[in-house]
Amino acid sequence: MEKITSTQNAKVKKWQHLTTKKGHHKFHQYLVEGWHTVGDAIAAEQPVVQVAATPEQLDEHAQDIPDDVERFEITDEIAKKLSDTVTPQGIFAVIDILAAEHVDPDEATGAWLLLDRIQDPGNIGTMVRTADAAGFSGVVFGNGTSSRYTPKVIRAMQGSQFHIRLSEDDLGNWVSAFEARQIPVYGSALDKDAQNYQTVEPQPAFGLIMGNEGQGMSERLMSQTTTNLYIPIKGQAESLNVAVAAGILMFKLNQNLV
């Protein structure tokens, strides 16, 4: 096992690069931090190729790291360099981004959450976790949505990204494909012409689009959906947080819950 003590080491610089969009595209890999996420990735048989950790973390988790995963011992200083948190957790994993992770909407089954230009990592993480809890098949990150491989989004998803399928695509492709297969696609809107979500019957397969935090769904997508839904608000708040609204709609619409 190689021991790395310098923050200027070439591997350390590459691992740092794996937290950026350019790094993801160049190396087709990304970096995750903390045993909760690293352990979930290993348990879900994700393509973990390297683990870098402090001696304490390596000792604690030695038995849980597969033998075919390359291990590196790093210093606390390097852990701080790689981490984007105030208190580094001391263990990191490099995971391959596989072409197989792309999902063909012509073959997708079940319920799918479609994210239209969602920016806040906390909202994305909450929606992915809720989709996992609500029995959805997966989540599609549409154009303009923050990358699922950035550290803040990874941390916010808390391992749920390994339980359901995630993909990145133009949401128009999904709307068109579902329409051709007679699968409904619901939009979410604060619109007098939208339909009360409580009147919609659950479906075995559908798409649900949630729009940008400040601007809502794009007009292009809103005009292409099967039905646009709204959630009645009884109090004086102007609107609901997008992740809260998504949770209400997901549990209402998906009939595949056990």
Using the 3D structure, point to which of 99, 128, 161 is the last residue of a domain. 99
Q: Would residue 79 count as lying in a domain?
A: yes
How much is the pLDDT for 100? Answer: 67
Do 74 and 181 lie in one domain? The reply is: no
Please tell me whether the overall predicted TM-score, pTM, comes out greater than 0.95 for this model: no
Do 203 and 233 lie in one domain? The reply is: yes
Number of independent structural domains in the chain: 2
Q: pLDDT tens, position by position, for the chain (258 residues)? A: 899 999 999 999 999 999 999 999 999 999 999 999 999 999 999 999 999 999 999 999 999 999 999 999 999 999 999 998 889 999 999 999 987 678 999 999 999 999 999 999 999 999 999 999 999 999 999 999 999 999 999 999 999 999 999 999 999 999 999 999 999 999 998 777 899 999 998 889 999 999 999 899 999 999 999 999 999 988 888 889 999 999 999 999 997 544
Using the 3D structure, point to which of 68, 99, 130 is the last residue of a domain. 99
Containing structural domain, residue 52? 2-99
User: For the domain that residue 72 is a member of, what is the CATH number?
Assistant: 3.30.1330.30
What are the DSSP calls for 143-179, one per residue?
A: TTSPPTTSHHHHHHHTTGGGTSEEEE--HHHHHHHHH
End-to-end CA gap in the chain: 46
Q: Would residue 191 count as lying in a domain?
A: yes
Q: Would residue 258 count as lying in a domain?
A: no
Do 8 and 88 lie in one domain? The reply is: yes
How much is the pLDDT for 256? Answer: 59
Using the 3D structure, point to which of 99, 128, 157 is the last residue of a domain. 99
Do 80 and 128 lie in one domain? The reply is: no
Do 108 and 216 lie in one domain? The reply is: yes
- In the numeric block, the tokens 């075995």 are attached to 204
